[in-house]
């Protein structure tokens, strides 16, 4: 004969006035993590108490109920309600939904508190993404969603960015065959076909780190930190119709430029404009390139120009900068780490002093007429101008004693 299955009995629920509740000393949560008590209180104001408190009657020395109830599970909710009472936003005798267990229950009260916290499963990132997406589709902005759930707008944007990932890859992640970091790496590109190609190529490889996924998805693009992009300016590139791919999950240094031919055209046009300005100085030739190879000036003679004299005002400015530099360095000589504002200011001073030292050189007009200039882009995206190079075929074989003319090699 089969034995009857024993049925369990769930604890009863009822509303208890808040001033009849006391926080149990057996509540296991002591370290503050996650949403703050203040944020939880605001959530209760907005949505009500979503989850009931778990309580037990407090007994006196003779085992009789005192009318008070201790809270072993739900301590943060209790503190949030307590804060609302202190703020006079909740009546101290307001009824609170509670699950009431037997005071003589054989289960230790510490076990109840521990179980509630350990057995609670965090929301899966994809579930959070779908919930945020549903709210956005119903008209809430990213900022409103962030405010409602006490996260930053950046977190909301990151979760919603998962819409750019191919559904097939979302399924792979759901089955735990891909990490969240790998999934987030795919958001740098909205091309589902390319995403699936990359995963197909990497899924059986030992080298499928997030950086490898990003590298493969952006291999035909140019970093926004590239010297060419910095030279043209990201805003100018976008104004010209170029698109920029950005990664919300990693420091992408400004993203990736997708339209490389457009970038190259803008670079060429800006370099040409700079070259035309330099041509007005009278140089015989001007060579332009985004980047010249090492040794590009080998075999050419470099003119020795003279630095332009500083005006009285420039000399005064330079001396003032040196004095300020000496003063700041003396004031912080014993400091292990400079304050940010001082560090920035010293950098500005050093840059200004370098500009004085590297001021334009003045060349003889005759020399200019047979020399040339290399125009390129420095590593930091600034214009690089190298003046005064004479090619062997342009060297004078005979100089006129008068008039400053010259005759080239014949």
Residue 409 scores a pLDDT above 50:
no
Task: Determine the pLDDT at residue 317.
Answer: 92
Q: 229-266: per-residue pLDDT in tens?
A: 999 999 999 999 998 887 766 665 678 888 889 999 99
Under 8 Å CB-to-CB from 8, ≥6 apart: which residues? none
pLDDT value for 396? 73
pLDDT at residue 175 greater than cutoff 70:
yes
Q: What is the pLDDT of residues 318-362, one digit of tens each?
A: 999 999 999 988 888 888 888 888 889 999 999 888 888 877 788
End-to-end CA distance of the chain: give it in Å, rounded. Answer: 122
217/210 Cα distance (integer angstroms): 11
- How much is the pLDDT for 239? 94
Query: In the chain, pLDDT over 90 holds for what percent of residues?
Result: 34
pTM of this structure: 0.52
Q: Are 268 and 231 in contact (CB under 8 A)?
A: no
pLDDT for res 78? 93
Contacts of 256 (CB under 8 A, 6+ apart): 188, 218, 221, 222, 223, 224, 244, 245, 246
What is the rounded CA–CA span in Å between residue 100 and residue 84?
23
pLDDT in tens, 373-402: 999 999 999 999 999 999 999 987 544 443
Measure the CA–CA gap between 206 and 34, rounded to whole angstroms. Answer: 35
All residues at 6 or more sequence positions from 253 whose CB lies less than 8 Å from its CB, including other chains: 223, 224, 225
Residue 377, strand partner residues:
383
Rg (CA), the chain: 36
26 has a pLDDT exceeding 50: yes
User: How wide is the angle at C-alpha 73 spanned by C-alphas 69 and 78, nearest 5°?
Assistant: 70
pLDDT tens profile 298-313: 999 999 888 878 888 9
Decide: 330 and 355 in contact? Cβ < 8 Å: no
The DSSP secondary structure of 221-290, one letter per residue, reads SEETTSHHHHHH-HHHHHHTT--EE--SSS--TT-EES-HHHHHHHHHHHHHHHHHHHHTTT-SEEEE-S
Mean pLDDT of 124-134: 83
Strand-pairing partners, residue 287, are 374
pLDDT at 208: 81
Q: Is pLDDT at 81 greater than 90 in this prediction? A: yes
């Amino acid at each position: 004969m089969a034995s009857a299955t024993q049925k369990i009995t769930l604890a009863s629920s009822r509303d208890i006035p808040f001033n009849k509740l006391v926080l149990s000393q057996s509540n296991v949560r002591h370290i503050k993590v996650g949403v703050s008590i203040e944020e939880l209180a605001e959530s209760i104001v907005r949505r009500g108490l979503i989850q009931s408190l778990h309580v037990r009657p407090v007994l006196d020395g003779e085992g009789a109920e005192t009318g008070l109830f201790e809270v072993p599970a739900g301590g943060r909710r209790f503190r949030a309600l307590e804060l609302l009472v202190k703020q006079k936003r909740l009546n101290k005798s307001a009824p609170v939904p509670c699950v009431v267990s037997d005071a003589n229950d054989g289960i230790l009260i510490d076990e109840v508190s521990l179980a509630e916290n350990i057995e609670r499963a965090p929301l899966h990132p994809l579930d959070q993404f779908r919930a945020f997406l549903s709210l956005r589709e119903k008209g809430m902005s990213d900022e409103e969603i962030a405010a409602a759930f006490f996260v930053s707008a950046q977190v909301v944007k990151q979760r919603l960015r998962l819409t750019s990932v191919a559904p097939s890859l979302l399924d792979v992640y759901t089955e735990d065959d891909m990490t969240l970091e790998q999934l987030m790496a795919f958001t740098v590109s909205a091309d589902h076909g390319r995403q699936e190609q990359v995963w197909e190529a990497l899924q059986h490889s030992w080298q499928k780190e997030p950086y490898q996924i990003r590298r493969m998805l952006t291999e035909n693009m140019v970093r926004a930190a590239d010297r060419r992009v910095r030279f043209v300016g990201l805003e100018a590139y976008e104004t010209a119709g170029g698109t920029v791919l950005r990664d919300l999950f990693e420091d992408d240094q400004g993203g990736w430029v997708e339209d490389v031919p457009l970038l190259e055209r803008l670079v060429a046009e800006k370099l040409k404009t700079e070259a035309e300005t330099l041509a007005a100085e009278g140089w015989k030739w001007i060579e332009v390139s985004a980047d010249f190879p090492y040794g590009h000036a080998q075999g050419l003679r470099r003119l020795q120009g003279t630095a332009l004299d500083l005006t009285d005002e420039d000399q005064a400015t330079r001396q003032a900068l040196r004095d300020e530099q000496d003063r700041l360095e003396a004031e912080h000589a014993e400091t292990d780490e400079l304050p940010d504002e001082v560090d920035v200011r010293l950098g500005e001073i050093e840059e200004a002093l370098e500009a004085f030292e590297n001021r334009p050189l003045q060349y003889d007009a005759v020399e200019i007429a047979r020399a040339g200039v290399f125009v390129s882009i420095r590593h930091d995206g600034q214009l690089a101008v190298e003046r005064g190079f004479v090619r062997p075929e342009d060297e004078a074989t005979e100089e006129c004693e008068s008039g400053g003319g010259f005759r080239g090699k014949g």
